[in-house]
Amino acid sequence: MSRRFRVTFIHPCIGRKPGRSYLRTWQMEPLPVAVLAALTPAGVETRFYDDRMEPIPFDEPTDLVAISTEVYTALRSYQIASEYRRRGVPVVMGGFHATLCPEEVARFAESVVIGEAEDLWETVIDDYRHGTPKKTYQAESRPSLERSNPDRTIYAGKRYLPVGLVEAGRGCRFTCEFCCIQSYYRSTYRARPVDRVVEELRGLKNRAKLVFFVNDNIITDRESARGLLEALVPLKVRWVSQGSINVALDEGLLELLKASGCQGLLIGFESLEPDNLRQMGKGVNLAQGDYEKAMANLKRYGIRVYGTFVFGYDHDTPESFDRVFRFAMRHGFFLCGFNHLTPMPGTPLYQRLAGEGRLLHEAWWLDPHYTYNTLPFRPRGMEPDAVRNACVAARRRFYSVPNTLRRAAQAHNRSDWRFLRSFLAVNLLHLAEVGKRDSLPLGDAAFRGPLLESAT
């Protein structure tokens, strides 16, 4: 009897410093790996290693290694691929970065999957089993999400955060210039069949106290959103997701969010400066007008907010950081992201900054001098280091114990003791990790040896 074909899935970390533990807030279930595992044909032996949480046994026999790579994990993906390829094991890469930068990724892998993998993965496996792999795999059309049902058995023994990740749809209809989501999905949205989502949630009921719908914007398509929310009402699940500020002015949708068990939304405010919003193409935020009214509506329906902001646009000044801090404190944000602007490859922002000669590193995600939290471009109104330092200082200030307790005391944050307990734990964890994120190298700083590139 011939032995079974073996596939090893790897989820790479962003980077690590020797002797430093990995960031706990980043240790969430990697859904793409579980979806691929579910799509793998019967009879194929699978293994999964999460580089964020465990060592990778490079010498363990396998026939194929599959790595899903993002921009921030690209360097670490190439390091891992080099280790396997030196041992004669072929590597296939997919994910956002493989689609946005396929020629670069092809230098470090035998095969590249461009776009979504649902309609391609079985073909990839079959080609490798028969010794006829292709350099590039690209679907002719966008796949249905009917088959995107993750196999969570691969998570066994992994110590992920106690949050169940579920995908109810992919993409976003907005065209923000800095967002790689709109580049990857071409500003479109597809909903996953509601019955499949419900089936998955029922299987999670005894495993996850909180569900995180990983949709980039769960209300980008109002019709499909209402169908999903109505189906959630009888399930009594507690969930969070990502959404846009325009939901705050739709009373009917707010009522459905509350009835369906929504505990909070990550909302990209991006900036309090109208000129920045115009420049980034975030017209939906300008169209809604008053953030104060929006926040009052969200509080009235008990929907907490994780607000995210980006700094480094042309109209930011040192005062912009304090203004955002005071806004976030006044409204008692559950969490707040003080993030510097990052030009992701394949986005209109990257193309604009490159055309203006403002990039400090062309491929900053591979540059040995680039570290997490630093700006890879020159802002107009502030120095790169000034933006970076102000972001770090704002995070320390927002997550400080006194300010965490002030936000916890607001009525919408203390109305539910279970939520209040999570609020305190998550905020203190973010405070502890402010320093760990700062200047984190991309890739493993302990990696030795050159990256192994393909001959063709």
Q: Which one of 358, 377, 398 terminates a domain?
A: 398
The arithmetic mean of pLDDT across residues 344-355, rounded, is: 94
- What pLDDT digit, counting tens, does each position of 162-186 carry? 889 999 988 777 778 888 777 666 7
Q: What percent of the chain has pLDDT over 90?
A: 69
33 within domain boundaries: yes
Cβ-contact 311, 270 below 8 angstroms: no
Residues 93 and 232 in one domain: no
Residues 79 and 133 in one domain: yes
Element (H, E) at 11: strand 6-11
The arithmetic mean of pLDDT across residues 74-97, rounded, is: 96
449 within domain boundaries: no
Q: Please tell me the predicted confidence (pLDDT) of residue 220.
A: 84
Residues 210 and 355 in one domain: yes
Residues 332 and 233 in one domain: yes
- The boundaries of the domain holding residue 34 are 6-138
Residues 274 and 208 in one domain: yes
Q: Which one of 378, 398, 418 terminates a domain?
A: 398
Tokens of 144: 């249905």
Residues 198 and 294 in one domain: yes
Q: Which one of 104, 122, 138 terminates a domain?
A: 138
Cβ-contact 379, 313 below 8 angstroms: yes
443 within domain boundaries: no
CATH code for the domain in which residue 27 is found: 3.40.50.2300
Residues 36 and 100 in one domain: yes
428 within domain boundaries: no
1 within domain boundaries: no
CATH code for the domain in which residue 258 is found: 3.20.20.70
The single-letter code of the amino acid at 219 is I
Residue 21, CB half-sphere, CA atoms under 13 Å: how many? 6
Residues 133 and 180 in one domain: no
Residues 273 and 200 in one domain: yes
Domain count, the chain: 2
Residues 201 and 311 in one domain: yes
Tokens of 350: 């990257």
Residues 320 and 179 in one domain: yes
**377 pLDDT tier (thresholds 50, 70, 90):** very high
On the question of pLDDT at 456 being above 70, the answer is no
429 within domain boundaries: no
Residues 61 and 102 in one domain: yes
247 within domain boundaries: yes
E-assigned strands of 118-272? 136-138, 163-166, 169-171, 189-191, 210-213, 239-243, 262-270
Q: Please tell me the predicted confidence (pLDDT) of residue 1.
A: 45
Kindly report the pTM of this predicted structure: 0.94
